[in-house]
Chain A
């Protein structure tokens, strides 16, 4: 592996993305903790997987914050990096610790998203789970374009999750399920803009803003679920 290509937003935006990621991870932790609490009450396995998936994506955000933090402070960490040809905001970093940090972030994100999708699969097989995990690992590690692999795979998996949530909405017609699938459409869209970051810093900035909207939607969904319990005795 030669190094990891990374794209970021305009310089003034450095650090603000960490705040958006922190907000996203708080929303995920809230949902994960709640799902785990419900699981403890009536031990439904799908709730355990849901809590696990949300926690993994939340942990991935911690690694993203650290990875980009190190990237923004690269001079302090004396990282060896080189600008990508013709792309002022893209860098290739070949420092092993940095590569490892990015890989952990990418791997946990994809495994978490896949686990969320897996919750809804009728046929659950450990062989299939292992195979997907293996494919995620090699597709990330055997390429110098791990950034693209991460966001393209995340886009595909989140579109599949959105379809699942949309099917649920068609079945139950609940407002909260509608908010949920709309939030996931927006979340999927954020990965499209992360992919477009190659062309301009503006797209990275836009991707982060869209991600913020998605997680505000997810928080709104969660709050509307909690409020439902409080409605009339």
Chain B
């Protein structure tokens, strides 16, 4: 069984899922791709929007989650942190 994900892991998974879809994703897809329940996803989505990492957009009646520049920046910071932990052997 895999290790329990922390808050940062979940945020990373969500941002990565949006990035892999070219920067925008449907909420249902995001929910599946980041392995979250609908309720959990909304809690995290609220937080990501508060921090200006993502925004909701309406396109032809469809709702999309779009990653913003701050989100990309945070994703690169996480990547940098992971590299630091791996380099120093702190990634367990």
Contacts and interface: CB of A to CB of B under 8 A. Distances in A.
A47 B92 CA distance: 11
A44 B86 CA distance: 13
B43 interface: no
B1 interface: no
A124 interface: no
B84 A225 contact: yes
Contacts of A44: 85, 90, 92
A47 B8 CA distance: 15
B81 to A, nearest CB: 5
Q: Per DSSP, are chain A's interface residues mostly helix, strand or loop, or mixed?
A: helix
A41 B89 contact: no
A172 B86 contact: yes
B63 interface: no
A141 B80 CA distance: 43
A134 interface: no
Nearest to A180: B87
A34 B90 contact: no
B19 interface: yes
Interface residues of B toward A: which range?
A: 20 to 34
Interface residues of A, number: 29
A120 B85 CA distance: 12
A176 interface: yes
Nearest to B79: A229
A225 B80 CA distance: 6
The 9 A-B pairs of least Cβ separation, nearest first, read: A229-B80, A168-B89, A228-B83, A176-B87, A42-B8, A229-B76, A229-B79, A46-B90, A38-B81
27 contacts: A35-B84, A35-B88, A41-B8, A41-B81, A42-B6, A44-B90, A47-B90, A50-B88, A120-B89, A167-B89, A168-B87, A168-B89, A172-B86, A174-B86, A176-B87, A177-B86, A177-B89, A226-B80, A228-B79, A228-B83, A229-B76, A229-B78, A229-B83, A230-B76, A230-B80, A233-B72, A233-B75
